Amino acid sequence: MNADTPTPRAAQDLRPPGTPPDPVPPATPPGGPAAGDAASPSDPDQPVGRPIGPPFPIGEAVARSLVTAASLAPSLHNAQPWRFRLLADGTTLQLWADLDRVVPHADPDGRGLHLGCGAAICNLRVAAAHAGLLPDVRLLPEPAEPRLLADMVFRRLPAGAPEPREAAGLAALYPAIRARRTSRHPFLPERVPGSVRAELTEAARAEGAELVHPDSWHTATVLELLRDAEGRDGSDPARERELERWTRTGPEAGSAVDGVPEYAFGPRERDGRTVVRDFAGRAPLPGRAGADFESAPQLVLLGTDGDRPFDWLRAGEALERVLLVATDRGLATSLSSQALEWDELRWPTRDPMGPISHVQMIIRLGYGPESPPTPRRAVTEILEIGHAMPSAP
């Protein structure tokens, strides 16, 4: 973090000494009880005492493969605010928040950081399922060390054992991890079928979140809030500088390992309708075309009942699962969080009569051109191997 950058609330919340952490719900993996535990007798769909294998040492090669998949998750400004550690026993992989990659003005509470890291956990779970592994995921396992966002102990299912509910359908999403893109291009007017929307809703619910499909009135309200947020961002010098920090133009775009390069900006909107964040800002970009975006974008809102770090991580897992299912069904997607980055604009994005209390992400769905992938850091920069004790990075 630069010396002249104010300490964000995210860093304060994630700093362990001297600040009591927020209360954390019991650490429960997405989709149900921990894979190594007996299922709750109150859950009639889950057999009690189902057989699960012992902790399985995954080794460096598998750890690199899993972390590579995790790193392809979306994050605010493509900051990639994560670090991973494979402990010396080889069975436990930890996910740590990387505080050098916070976005303090757009994300003062660290909500966006947790969403991105939650999305990385989802990718890791999908990759593990593809490899025949089942991770026992504990979110925020050490209340005194909130920078430790998750730990995962890996197991192999015994031959012939049924697929646990928390892993059901994940392996099939593995190809979508690399195929998923954030599209900043116009989408076609073709509507997303109701059957696909229902699948996306179920994907969110499988991870403990809800997906709201707003009506035309609600959509118009959200679009107006997004335009308001874009105007505020453009008149806030600190936020403009922060956006520039994560924008890659000219020769830098070709060698970037993070941030958003100019080849992923998409065209400039001719009519000023703000649907996606414009990383070019007010600066003209040579050769960048203008385009008319859809007048009635198909938006969905991902939300949760709670609004604490635990909820943000779960929301991130739900977000990525929704995006992977959408990608698998041939949809293009983009994310809009501008209105959610201003406290006074975030609250009105929700429907007071709807099923969610806190909107965590605005997702645009549709059919459109394939977009280029944004850059990622090398796995050697984000994975540490062989730590005996879980000390802070």
Q: Using one digit for the tens of pLDDT, what is the confidence trace for 131-162? A: 999 999 999 999 999 999 999 999 997 777 77
pLDDT number for residue 64: 98
CA distance 154 to 35: 9
The least confident of 4-8, 333-337, 386-390 is 4-8
Residue 65 has pLDDT above 70, yes or no: yes
Q: Using one digit for the tens of pLDDT, what is the confidence trace for 200-226? A: 999 999 999 999 999 999 999 999 999
CB 322 within 8 A of CB 203: yes
CA distance 291 to 369: 13
pLDDT number for residue 158: 72
Burial of 355 (0-12, 13-18, 19+ CB in 10 A): exposed
pLDDT bucket at 282, cuts 50 / 70 / 90: low
pLDDT number for residue 281: 73
Residue 33 has pLDDT above 90, yes or no: no
DSSP letters along 189-209, please? SPPPPHHHHHHHHHHHHHTT-
Average pLDDT over residues 117-132: 96
Q: Is the torsion defined by CA of 251, 253, 255, 257 positive or negative?
A: positive
pLDDT bucket at 26, cuts 50 / 70 / 90: very low
CA distance 386 to 88: 4
Average pLDDT over residues 117-143: 96
pLDDT number for residue 286: 78
Round the average pLDDT of the chain to a whole number and report it: 86
pTM of the model: 0.86
- Name which residue leads in pLDDT, 166 or 124: 124
